[in-house]
């Protein structure tokens, strides 16, 4: 009798643990390549990064966006080069066309706040680093071929929240440093 009870308990536990559960969140990671540019006349500078996040219920979600630009707007030979790193936390709103599993597309809009670190190196004359609060707004599309693999592309506008002049105080007014970023990558969910 005790063996039968033990077997029933093991079967019940296995049934609960192994039972299929409807997924409520859609997590993803996208390593990407991109280009930063100031306006239509700017040739742009390369940037690399990763975006990771999840969509609760397939529509609303949060994501973290990290980017590194090793030659962030080459000034001129006399002024040197500027590097940049951005780290942002965003809200995302996307409509899954074709569902949240299997093949389908998801157009989305995103926006959030974070930090931008810039470093200006003039070859020994000036070595300046700055941390500034920034925001970004963007739109794009994720397209999935399977449950776990797809492509993502987006266009984002980034801008600092405070003035880029040394010694300025933080305020919520738009700063001088602003640019666009076009990126694309492979998405894993």
Domain ranges across the chain? 25-188
Q: pLDDT for 53-67, tens place per residue?
A: 988 877 899 999 999
Most confident of 38-52, 67-81, 167-181: 38-52
In the chain, the largest separation of any two C-alpha atoms, in whole Å, equals 88
Looking at per-residue pLDDT, the higher value among 142 and 73 belongs to 142
Instruction: Determine the pLDDT at residue 14.
Output: 46
Q: Are strands 104-121 and 149-160 parallel, antiparallel or unpaired?
A: unpaired
83: Cβ contacts below 8 Å, ≥ 6 apart: 68, 69, 70, 71, 72, 118, 119, 121
Assess whether pLDDT exceeds 90 at residue 148: no
CB atoms within 10 A of CB 86: 24
When mean pLDDT is compared across 6-20, 55-69, 172-186, the lowest value belongs to: 6-20
CATH for the stretch 25-188:
2.40.160.20
Question: Which residue shows structure tokens 């998801």?
Answer: 106
In angstroms, the Cα distances linking 93 to 58, 107, 110, 138, 167 are 9, 9, 6, 11, 37
Assess whether pLDDT exceeds 80 at residue 15: no
Asked whether the beta carbons of 66 and 35 are under 8 A apart, the reply is: no
Asked whether the beta carbons of 153 and 184 are under 8 A apart, the reply is: yes
Asked whether the beta carbons of 185 and 33 are under 8 A apart, the reply is: yes
For the chain, the three-class secondary structure string (H helix, E strand, C coil) is CHHHHHHHHHHHHHHHHHCCCCCCEEEEEEEEEEEEECCCCCCCEEEEEEEEEEEECCCEEEEEEEEEECCCCCCCCCCCEEEEEEEEEEEEEECCECCCCCCEEEEEEEEEEEEEEEEEECCCCCEEEEEEEEEEEEEEEEEECCCCEEEEEEEEEEEECCCCCCCCCCCCCCCCCEEEEEEEEEEEC
Q: How many CA atoms lie within 13 A of 48 on its CB side?
A: 3
Q: Percent of the chain scored above 90 by pLDDT?
A: 39
């Amino acid at each position: 009798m005790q063996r039968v009870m033990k077997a029933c308990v093991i079967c019940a536990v296995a049934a609960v643990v192994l039972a299929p559960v409807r997924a409520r969140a859609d997590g993803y990671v996208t390593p990407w390549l991109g280009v930063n540019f100031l306006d239509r006349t700017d040739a742009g500078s390369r940037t690399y990064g990763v975006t990771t996040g999840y969509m609760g219920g397939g529509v609303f979600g949060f994501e973290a966006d990290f980017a590194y630009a090793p030659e962030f707007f080459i000034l001129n030979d006399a002024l040197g080069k500027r590097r940049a790193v951005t780290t942002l936390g965003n809200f995302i709103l996307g409509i899954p066309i074709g569902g949240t599993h299997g093949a389908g597309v998801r157009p989305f809009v995103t926006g959030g706040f974070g930090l931008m670190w810039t470093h200006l190196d003039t070859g020994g004359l000036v070595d300046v680093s700055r941390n500034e609060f920034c925001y970004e707004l963007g739109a794009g599309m994720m397209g999935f071929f399977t449950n776990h693999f797809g492509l993502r592309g987006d266009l984002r506008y980034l801008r600092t929240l405070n003035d880029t002049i040394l010694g300025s105080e933080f305020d919520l007014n738009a700063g001088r440093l602003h640019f666009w970023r076009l990126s694309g990558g492979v998405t894993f969910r």
